[in-house]
Structure 1
Amino acid sequence: MDPVRIGLYAMPAFLVLMAVEFLSYRFDKDDDSARARSGVSWRDTGTNLSIYALGIVLRPLEKFMAVPMVAVAAAVTPLHLSASHWWVWVLAIVLADLAYYVQHRMSHRVRMFWAAHNVHHSSQYFNLSTALRLSWLIPGSFLSTVGFVGLALVGIPAWLVFLSQSIVLLYQFPIHTERIDRLPRAIEFVFNTPSHHRVHHGANNPYLDKNYAGIFILWDRMFGTFVAEDEPVRYGLTKNIDTHNPIKVNYHEFVAMIGDVWGARTWRGRLGYLFGPPGWRENTQTATTIETEAQELSVQGVAR
């Protein structure tokens, strides 16, 4: 079950929550809070909903990729766990969340996958509608499918594999908000929260490429990618796009990547533009410049 289909089933609840969030901005102004908020933009929200709606039509190939591969993995594995045991459900969700962490981290650090995932990060706002800003491109779906196959191979029933991934994705909808401050320390230590996910959507250092977790922020603590929310978050990309056109939002980075590959002078360059980190350049000694761009954003923020 892909994230677009999940959202379709849950859309009534999503719309109610988005309306409540909008009203909270209307009746609780920014000057009532010590933390600055990006707020809600009607144009940006319209872009998010348009991308989501078109994605329902344009992402059918994901099913044809994931379902057969998981079915084959479940058939050939010698391991078979019964969903009648509660601990199998817990194991399935924990492993699905770990697979999501790995997939999500690769989506930020490999440009071919970032060409799809950057769509979700391209909004300069952070609200519940941002959770619906999901790419139409397939590379990220391929990563998800690899994770699904891994769960099936360890004996998780195929239907529970997809259900667990759905739970991981649904959990993340309500944490796309500025309206909830930090939660009690024990919750913040174990779970991904709105505060942690605001950090993940930051384009300024020290927030860039941090807090990849789906449900359990423990993965970031374990693997060295955790940062707590401290200074103001600057949402969006290190180089923002000036458009609300859903087609351009979805394909601008893909077009730029193809242009870089086409213009590369060596095979090292071509492969680097596909599999290197975002910001990698063939004609520089540094592996990536995106961290430098994020640092510049931080310095500019201090200057302001």
Structure 2
Amino acid sequence: MEHFGKLPLYASAVIVFVSLIEAVVLSRKKRSTATPFAWYEVWISLFDLVGRKLLALLPLSLATPVFALAWDHRLFTVSINSALMVFALFIGQEFCYYWYHRASHRMRFFWATHAVHHSPNQLTLSTAYRLGVTGKLTGSAMFFTPLVFLGVRPEVVLLTLYMNLLYQFWLHTTWVPKLGWLEYVFNTPSAHRVHHASNVEYLDANYGGVLIIFDRLFGTYVEERAEEPCRYGLVTPTTSRNPFVVEFEHWATLIRDVVTAKSVWIAINHVIQPPGWLPDGGGETTEELRRKSKPVRSEVETVNG
């Protein structure tokens, strides 16, 4: 594992370099358009990357003691010494990643961090490394604890997760078309555009990392459609150019709702329910937004039909 010590540093340098090349190309292409390239989105993503690198130097991870406990009580000791074991680890990691990613959208506690990744109102390669500086504090890596409990060393689990995230770098593009039969198996730029879209029809879809098979299996796959262009960003768009606002605005509103809740149960639900949840049911969860949009879609279909 010591051979991989500098991998994150080298990979980050390459990723930033490539994303800046893309940014220059896109900014030149959009000079004469009504929606110019937003360079501030790139700077906020760089702020996030640097912030996470600095916080990584501090022992703040909630997942570390959980991993240690799981390793001490592991069922087996697994050696990744064959192609079959590598494949099994890959599939197990993909399964855990799917549920981590789904929970990041469906539980407000995890969404407060993950919303930062979805905050850019344009989708570019720099979006890939805007992940939210509070990730380690929420212990989201604990979703991969089952792999440690089964006997995979924690550092191997984290390295596999890192490779998963590296793959996803190229998915954050608007200029790569659909890729034919690969769309049925792998997470592609087309599938990931849907994931980043704020269109009601596209919300809470395509959670896969490298693969898209678990989305198809669990009913969360949604195909990108030409007649429904993706609108990027959050349902309520983030308009601030202040990186501290972008990083912490969802934590601020979550804390406010918990503190002002009329009961402990309501406070708990603000933490564990999906973003947009309200006690009276009149909020803006995905389900509520789709219910409200049905009459509008019906009227449009009647006019067009």
Q: For residue 74 of structure 1, give the secondary structure of its aligned residue in structure 2.
A: helix
Residue of structure 1 equivalent to 2:235: 238
> Please, what TM-score do these two structures have when normalized by structure 1?
0.85
Match of 1:202 among 197, 205, 212: 197
2:171 aligned with 1:170:
no
Question: Cα RMSD (Å) of the superposition?
Answer: 3.0
Match of 2:251 among 250, 254, 264: 254
Residue of structure 2 equivalent to 1:105: 102
295 and 52 in structure 1: CA distance in 2 versus 1, 3 angstrom threshold: farther
Q: For residue 9 of structure 1, give the secondary structure of its aligned residue in structure 2.
A: helix
> Following the alignment from structure 1 to structure 2, what is the Cα–Cα distance between the partners of residues 38 and 154?
50
Larger deviation: 59-68 or 218-227?
59-68
Gaps of 5+ in 2: 301-305
> Following the alignment from structure 1 to structure 2, what is the Cα–Cα distance between the partners of residues 157 and 223?
28
7 and 238 in structure 1: CA distance in 2 versus 1, 3 angstrom threshold: farther
CA-to-aligned-CA distance 1:200-222 (integer Å, 9 cap, x gap): 00111211010011111001000
Residue of structure 1 equivalent to 2:9: 8
Larger deviation: 219-228 or 128-137?
128-137
Alpha-carbon shift at residue 269 of structure 1 (Å): 1.5
Paired residue total: 291
> Following the alignment from structure 2 to structure 1, what is the Cα–Cα distance between the partners of residues 97 and 186?
14
Is 1:200–1:209's contact at 8 Å kept on the other side of the alignment?
Answer: yes
2:222 aligned with 1:227:
yes
Letter in 1 for 2:23: F
CA-to-aligned-CA distance 1:57-85 (integer Å, 9 cap, x gap): 23445664434433442342231222212
> Please, what TM-score do these two structures have when normalized by structure 2?
0.85
Alpha-carbon shift at residue 23 of structure 1 (Å): 4.7
Alpha-carbon shift at residue 239 of structure 1 (Å): 0.7
Is 1:59–1:136's contact at 8 Å kept on the other side of the alignment?
Answer: no
Alpha-carbon shift at residue 291 of structure 1 (Å): 4.3
> Following the alignment from structure 2 to structure 1, what is the Cα–Cα distance between the partners of residues 241 and 8?
21
Letter in 2 for 1:201: H
> Following the alignment from structure 1 to structure 2, what is the Cα–Cα distance between the partners of residues 145 and 269?
25
Is 1:205–1:295's contact at 8 Å kept on the other side of the alignment?
Answer: no
Match of 1:183 among 179, 183, 207: 179
Is 1:93–1:167's contact at 8 Å kept on the other side of the alignment?
Answer: no
